[in-house]
Amino acid sequence: MSVPKSMHAIVAQVFAGTPVTDIHTHLFDPAMGSLLLWGIDELLTYHYLVAEVLRARPEITYKAFWTMPKSAQADLIWQELFVKRTPVSEACRGVLTVLQALGLNANTERLSDIRAYFAAQTVHGYVDQVFKLAGVECVYMTNDPLNPVERAVWEKGFERDPRFLAALRLDSSLKDWPQSVANLKALGYAVDTSLSGRTLSEVRRYLNDWCQRIEARYMAISLAPTFRYPDMGVKTFQHSAECWNVSSLTNLMVKAVIPVARERGIPVALMIGVRKAVNPALGDAGDSVGLADMAAVENLARDFGDVTFLVTLLARENMHGLCVAARKFKNIVPFGCWWFLNNPSLIREITAMRMELLGLSLIPQHSDCRILDQLVYKWAHSRAVIGDVLASKYDDLARAGRPVSEADIRRDLAVLFDGRLINQRPLV
Ligand code: HDL
Ligand code: ZN
C-alpha cells in the first residue's frame, strides 16, 4: 500500500507546476538589447557578491576592484567565494542553483567551460529556457525614462515580449527633487524647482506620457526611512537634506503621482527604508537599511482609499507593522521579501506572519532580479520556503477539521502569485 504524500510534498508538486507573476525585477525585454543582463559573468558580479568578495579580501581596494574588467571580477569572485571558501551565502547558493538547473558542473576551479556554455546561447532562446526552468509567467520591469540608454530604446520603439510588463520608476524624476528639474526640462516638461506654476501639471504630463508609452501597470518609488506623510514641520528640519526634500516629495506624491494613478487606475508601489550610498565606494552594493515610518503608509492609505498601494519595506522590524497596517487599510497590499529580507530564514518568518495576519491577501514574493538567470534560483529558493509555510498552515487546518484539497491549493497559489492584486480597485 502506497504511503500518502505529505501535505508538504503535495504543495511542492502543485507549486512547481504553478507559473508565477514576478511583480518587481530589474530585467528588461530581450528586445531592449544590452539592458538585459545574463550569463555567468553577470551572475558572479551581482552587487550582492561584490560586497561579499570584498569582505573575503578586504586588502583589495575599491578602486582596484572597480578597475578590473568584468571577467576578472567574476574570476576573483569565483575563486574567493566558491573555490577557496564554501559558498554558504544565499547569493552564492543562488549561482549554484542556476548552474545545477542548467546541468553545468559547478565543481570546477575555472570558469572556461561554464563561459563556453553561455557563449553558445542566444538571448531569446535563453529567455525561454530561464522562464521555463524558473516557472515564471511574466515579470515586471523597472523602467526609468530618465535613463538615457533606456529612453533611447523606447523612443526608437521595439516589438514587446508580452512576458515583460512595465512599471514606471519615479526615483530619478521625483525622489530627489529638485535634482531632476534639468532632466525633465530637457525632455520638454516646463517644470520649476519651486513646484510653482505649471510644474505639478507638467510632472503629471510626464507621468502620463510615459505610463502611456511603456504601458505601465503601476508606478513605483523607493523612499528613505525619513519619508513622512504628511510632513510634520519639515521646515524645522535643518539637519538632513533628505528631510528638507520631504516637503517637495510629499507635494509631488499627493499632487502628481496619486492623481495620475487614480486617472489611470493603476497602483503606486512604495518601497521604503533604503538609506542610499552609505558606502558610496561599493556602488549598487552601497545602500543600507533603515526603519520606515508606518504612520506615513497608513496616512496615505487613509487619505487615498481608492488607490492601491503596493508596499514593500526593507527593515525586518517593519514587517509586523506592515501586516497590521494592511489589516487596517484594504488598499495596502504588502509585497515581497525585499533585498536584505530575501533570505530563507526571513522569508519563512515574514510569510508565516503575513498569512497568520492577512490570510492570502498579499503578494508573498518578488525576485528583484537584476540578471535574467537569477529567476531560476530566486524562485526555486522562494517556492521551497513559501510552499513549506503554506503546507504547515494547511496541516494546521486539517487538524482543525478543515482538510485542504489539491484544487484548494491551486486556487490559493493563483491568488498569491498570479499578480491579480495589482489590478484590484478598492472603493472607499
Ligand atoms: O530600489 C530597488 O528596486 C532595489 O531593489 C535595488 O535595486 C537594490 O539594489 C537591489 O538590487 N535589491 O535587490
Ligand atoms: Zn529592486
Question: Atom 12 (ligand 1): residue with closest C-alpha?
Answer: 339
Q: Is the confidence at residue 147, as pLDDT, over 70?
A: yes
pLDDT of residue 240: 43
Distance in angstroms (rounded) separating the CA atoms of residues 338 and 87: 22
pLDDT at 202: 98
* Confidence at residue 274, expressed as pLDDT on a 0 to 100 scale: 98
Q: Could you read off the pLDDT of 390-417 as tens digits, one per residue?
A: 999 999 999 999 999 999 999 999 999 9
CA distance 423 to 100: 36
Q: How many domains does the chain have?
A: 1
Task: Name the percent of the chain lying above pLDDT 70.
Answer: 96
The answer to whether the CB of 248 falls within 8 A of the CB of 195 is yes
Task: Give the range of the structural domain holding residue 308, as residue numbers without chain letter.
Answer: 25-29+141-334
Cell numbers standing for residue 187: 525632455
Ligand 1 atom with the shortest distance to the CA of 171? 1
What's the grid cell of residue 367?
A: 525576485
The protein residue with its alpha carbon nearest to ligand 1, atom 4, reads 339
| 94-103 residue pLDDT tens | 999 999 999 9
Over residues 12-58, the pLDDT tens digits come to 999 999 999 999 999 999 999 999 999 999 999 999 999 999 999 99
Distance (angstroms) between ligand 2 centre and the Cα of 9 equals: 31
- Is residue 248 assigned to a domain? yes
Lookup: cell for 176? 530627489
Confidence (pLDDT) at 231: 77
Q: Which of 26, 147, 172 to mutate to test the pocket of ligand 1 (most atoms within 8 A of CB)?
A: 26
How far is residue 291's CA from residue 316's CA, in Å, rounded to a whole number? 9
Whether 199 has a pLDDT exceeding 90, the answer reads yes
pLDDT at 283 over 60: yes
**CA–CA separation, 256 vs 134, rounded Å?**
37
Burial code of 329-341, b = ≥16 C-beta within 10 A, e = fewer? bebbbbbbbbbeb
pLDDT score, position 256: 97
According to the model, what pLDDT value does residue 270 have? 98
Q: Is residue 246 part of a domain?
A: yes
Identify whether 77 is part of a domain: no
pLDDT for 247 equals: 72
d(CA 361, CA 174): 30
> The domain that contains 306 carries what CATH number?
3.20.20.140
Q: How confident is the model at residue 197, as a pLDDT?
A: 79
Q: Whose CA is nearest to atom 6 of ligand 1?
A: 339
421 lies in some domain: no
Expressed in angstroms and rounded, the spacing between residue 220 Cα and the centre of ligand 2 is: 10
Mean pLDDT value across residues 247-272? 94
Q: Please tell me the number of Cα atoms within 13 Å of 294 on its side-chain side.
A: 16
**pLDDT number for residue 232:** 57
Ligand 1 neighbours (beta carbon < 6 A): 26, 142, 222, 271, 284, 287, 339, 368, 370
What whole-number distance in Å separates Cα of residue 279 and Cα of residue 231? 28
**How far does residue 75's CA lie from ligand 2's centre (Å)?**
26
- 237/259 Cα distance (integer angstroms): 28
Q: Decide if 303 is inside a domain.
A: yes
Q: pLDDT tens digit string along 350-367?
A: 999 999 999 999 999 999
346 falls within a domain: no
pLDDT of 242 over the 70 cut: no
Inside any domain, residue 245: yes
Average the pLDDT over 254-258 and give the result.
Answer: 95
Predicted confidence band at 4 (pLDDT cuts at 50, 70, 90)? confident
DSSP character string of 21-89: EE-------GGGGGGSB-SHHHHHT-HHHHHHHHHH-TTS-HHHHHTS-HHHHHHHHIIIIIISS---S
Question: What rounded mean pLDDT belongs to the chain?
Answer: 95
Q: What is the 3-state secondary structure (H, E, C) of 313-347?
A: ECCHHHHHHHHHHHHHCCCEEEECCCHHHCCHHHH
Does residue 204 surpass a pLDDT of 90? yes
DSSP element (H, E) containing 309: strand 309-313
Whether 174 shows a pLDDT value over 50: the answer reads yes
pLDDT greater than 90 at residue 146: yes
The Cα 166–Cα 139 span in angstroms is 9
Q: Taking residues 134-154, report their average pLDDT.
A: 98
Residue 67 lies in a domain: no
Residue 222 CA to ligand 1 centre (angstroms)? 9
**pTM above the 0.85 mark?**
yes
